[in-house]
Amino acid sequence: MSPLSRARNAAALLTLPLLLTACAAAGGDPAADAGPPKAGGTLRLGISSAPDCIDPQQTATNASINVARQLVDSLTDQDPKTGEIKPWLAEKWESNADSTAFTFHLRAGATFSDGSPVDAAAVKASFDGIKALGTKAQLGFGYLAAYKSTTVVDPRTARLEFSAPSAQFLQASSTVSLGVLAPAAFQKTPEQRCQGNGLIGSGPFVFESLKQNQEIVLAKRKGYTWGSSLFKHQGEAYLDKIDYKIVPEPGVRTGSLASGQLDAITDVQPVDEPQFTSNGFTENIRPNPGVVFNLHANTTRGVLTDEKVRQAVLKGVDRTEVVNTVLTPSYKPATSILGSATPLHSDLSAQLAYDQKGAAALLDGDGWVPGADGIRTKNGQRLSAAVVFSPVFNQNRSVLELIQQQLRKIGFDLKIEQHTNAETTQIQLAGNYDFLWYNVTRADPDILRGQFSTKSGNRSRLTPGNPLDVALDAQSSTVDNAKREPAADEAQKLIVDHAYAVPVFELTQVVAQSAKAHAVDFEASSRLQLFDAWLS
């Protein structure tokens, strides 16, 4: 039985949720010797889990987004290097002073795969359709929380209005979650669209077939000429087809690439990286923007109600040791609660430096006394807290076990509790945790509002009207980065200063390519963008 066949028969398929955000190639790029890009061929791409849904407007997992991104175009695109918003379906746009209205001027000539035009009426139908999905639009639901309506000003002009300042919407308009579908797509049920039935987009590829837990095939859209201004070429995509092979076992995935059964694979594990840095293979690497992997504290529970305890934990984590011991040089120690690829990221590495003596001094001054087993106590209370996590990233347990060892050196007992994704979500919603371990990807600082604002996720369980709320609201009120940046900077500093969360490391996407595959690349949110991919 081939490695691919064994993988398809594997009983357990690990779905990687989005709670997991500049590219570098290792070992040299074979494209330099392959000549200019050429059209044709089928890219055999090994992915680590079965997409739960391929409707762009309902996707939430990495695997789903990596498929869906190829099927739809967005109003705008985002430059992965600068974070700047660039034209795609919209040639230009304006927003009003308080970021409650956005007017988009559409380019001429774009059509959906059923031949209907990408016009203002289609934009209205699409955004109204996302809003109607409610929580089924797992990411779009948050982006459009304050969405009121879309007005068709004329066939090529659409004005979207919001009930509250929504500066984040401009970046959201570049994401796959707000990708535009044809009006006819909404004649199908959300469940049908998840399986590709009636999935009518204007993207460079169209849905061809799906074999559950085995593969998904996309085909080139003939006559496509309205690509993003960030694409490296214009016209149709190079590839004839993309064949996503679902291979959940990391060893089977790497073996299939090494043996030539696959042309490229996603989710290369740290232990497997070295074998794809030479011998004609390359690795494409990009850190996720958004909230880094962190210990997010519930400030209303146990010892974590004490700010000095939280600050001691923040000082007691050696981020460099985590990266060097458990991960690889492809990963970065956290330098803020936001990853370094996030627009308006602030470098707080000095505040996040490992300081065992400083942590001990904080606890000594706060009355925590080392016990016989090395764990501190105060008034009969043990210095202990539990962290809730799910294995959405292969190295999560190993990282947490190392942090557990590090914190024992300052007299803190970190207990590790593993749960399923569904259980972790319920625990989080109920507030029944000390620390949450997670990350969440988005190339916009407003991602902090969803996790920390008392009007939204409020994972720290803060009281309304606190200074962090003020900063988060301020960064959401304007698209002008000169005004937005001070507020985003203040929010990051408040989170670190009060140790509402303890940032640890940035998740990184690692894709390995054979000598045959080129430009299996990332967009700004570190999801695959395959329009420019080609085979030699």
With 70 as the cut, is the pLDDT of residue 200 above it? Answer: yes
Helix extents (H) in 35-78: 62-68
Q: Which of 42, 102, 67 is nearest to 203 (CA)?
A: 67
Average pLDDT over residues 153-175: 97
Residue 156 neighbours by CB under 8 Å, 6+ apart: 105, 106, 107, 108, 119, 120
**302-330 confidence digits (pLDDT tens):** 999 999 999 999 999 999 999 999 999 99
**Mean per-residue pLDDT, 131-150:** 94
Which pLDDT band holds residue 32 (cuts at 50, 70, 90)?
Answer: low
Q: How far apart are CA 142 and CA 259, in angstroms?
A: 43
Give me the chain's average pLDDT, please.
92
In which band, very low, low, confident or very high, does the pLDDT at 28 lie, cut at 50, 70 and 90?
Answer: very low
For residue range 439-485, list pLDDT tens digits in order.
999 999 999 999 999 999 999 999 999 999 999 999 999 999 999 99
User: Per-residue pLDDT tens for 58-110?
Assistant: 998 889 999 999 999 999 999 999 999 999 999 999 999 999 999 999 999 99
Q: Is the confidence at residue 242, as pLDDT, over 80?
A: yes
pLDDT at 61: 85
Residue 7, pLDDT > 60, answer: no
User: Residues 124-144: what's their mean pLDDT?
Assistant: 94
Cβ atoms 519, 37 nearer than 8 A: yes
For residue 146, the Cα-to-chain-centroid distance in whole angstroms is: 22
**Helical residues (DSSP H) of 344-420, grouped into ranges:** 356-365, 396-408
pLDDT classification of 393: cutoffs 50, 70, 90: confident
DSSP assignment of 400-451 equals HHHHHHHHHTTT-EEEEEE--HHHHHHHHHHT--SEEEEEEE-SSTTHHHHH
Q: Which string of DSSP letters, residue by residue, matches 23-43? A: -EEES--THHHH-S-----EE
Instruction: Assign 171 to helix, strand or coil.
Output: helix
Query: In sequence order, what are the beta bridge partners of 502?
Result: 295
Per-residue pLDDT averaged across 251-258, rounded?
Answer: 96
Query: 336: pLDDT confidence band, cut at 50, 70 and 90?
Result: very high
176 band by pLDDT with thresholds 50, 70 and 90? very high
Mean pLDDT of 108-136: 97
Give the model's confidence band at 26: pLDDT under 50 very low, under 70 low, under 90 confident, else very high. very low
Rounded CA gap, 74 and 88, in Å? 7
Over residues 365-382, the pLDDT tens digits come to 999 999 999 999 999 999
Give the max Cα distance, the chain: 76
Q: Which two tokens stand for residue 527?
A: 């999801």
Coil, strand or helix at 180: coil
Pairing of the two strands 42-47 and 264-265: parallel
pLDDT at 27 (0 to 100): 41
336 SS3 class:
coil
Q: At what angle do helices 396-408 and 319-326 cross, to 10 degrees?
A: 140
Question: Residue 233's CB: how many other CB atoms inside 10 A?
Answer: 13
CB within 8 A of 430, min separation 6: which ones? Answer: none
Task: Indicate the burial class of 516 (C-beta count within 10 angstroms; 0-12, 13-18, 19 or more).
Answer: middle
Give residue 33's pLDDT band: very low, low, confident or very high (50, 70, 90): low
Instruction: Calculate what percentage of the chain has a pLDDT beyond 70.
Output: 94
Q: Which are the contacts of 305, defined by CB distance < 8 A and separation ≥ 6?
A: 299
pLDDT tens for each residue of 494-522: 999 999 999 999 999 999 999 999 999 99
Mean pLDDT, residues 278-297: 95
